Amino acid sequence: MLPAAIPLNSHSIRQCARRECGEALESPGARHAAGALREASQMPESDSPLPDENQTGTIVVAHSNHLRRSDIARLLTNQGFTVVTASTGTEALEQIHSGQVSLVIAGVRMDEADGLELTRAVSTIPGAPPVIVVATSEDTIDRTYLRGAALLGAARTLEYPLSASVLLCSVRELLNRK
């Protein structure tokens, strides 16, 4: 049986974000997700801790939406992480098989292989990196996909509007587990 996603309630997310990221979380729906991530990704490197020795390796950001993919990648790069991007699940799998990948962040809907197929494929790899799957919360199909991703072994599922603090907290937590 595949492990289920580890649930984080809003209280534990806020505690983690304040502890790990030193930032207060935005109220849900306060700003549009892409705008919030874009704004955060354009800020200079923060005073939050850079990745430690447990956070080596590369993060693969796989998303069919170019703006969301580049915003997430820029946010992580500004925090000191090494990031490669992919626009399809197939490209992401190629990246995973070709190098030292520590974490995968994937959108639910992608061409060739979607977030569910990518999660399933990654879970079969010995020593597989954890997967964070992201999707739109307003879309019933995407919410269903997020539940499926959790059942298939996604370490975390996150919904848009996506707070930069929550994403960074999740990334740091999952990388520190390895």
**Helix 66-78 / helix 33-42 crossing angle, nearest 10 deg:** 40
Give the number of domains in the chain.
1
DSSP string, the chain: -PPPP----HHHHHHHIIIII--PPPPTTSS-HHHHHHHHHHSPPPSSPPP-GGG-SEEEEE-SSHHHHHHHHHHHHHTT-EEEEESBHHHHHHHHHHS-EEEEEEES--BSS-HHHHHHHHHTSTTPPPEEEEEETT-HHHHHHHHHHHHTT-SEEEEESPPHHHHHHHHHHHHHH-
pLDDT band at 55 (very low <50, low <70, confident <90, very high): low
167 within some domain = yes
Specify the pLDDT at position 41.
46
Q: Report yes or no on 90 lying in a domain.
A: yes
Residues 112-133 pLDDT 10s: 778 888 999 999 999 899 999 9
CATH of the domain at 94: 3.40.50.2300
* 72-106 pLDDT tens trace: 999 999 999 999 999 998 999 999 998 789 999 99
> Do the domain assignments include residue 7?
no
The pLDDT-based confidence of 56 (bands split at 50, 70, 90) is low
61 is a domain residue: yes
Of the pLDDT bands very low, low, confident and very high (cuts 50, 70, 90), residue 2 is very low
- Considering 5-9, 21-25, 116-120, the range whose residues carry the highest mean pLDDT is 116-120
Q: Strand 58-62's sheet: what is its strand order?
A: 82-86, 58-62, 101-107, 131-136, 156-160
Q: Is 170 exposed, middle or buried (0-12, 13-18, 19+ CB in 10 A)?
A: buried
The answer to whether position 149 is within a domain reads yes
User: Is 22 a member of any domain?
Assistant: no
In a domain, 48, yes or no: no
- pLDDT for 31 beyond 60: no
Supply φ then ψ for residue 116, to 5 degrees: -70, -45
Kindly state whether residue 146 falls inside one of the protein's structural domains. yes
State residue 12's pLDDT score.
44
Domain of 116 in residue numbering reads as 33-41+53-177
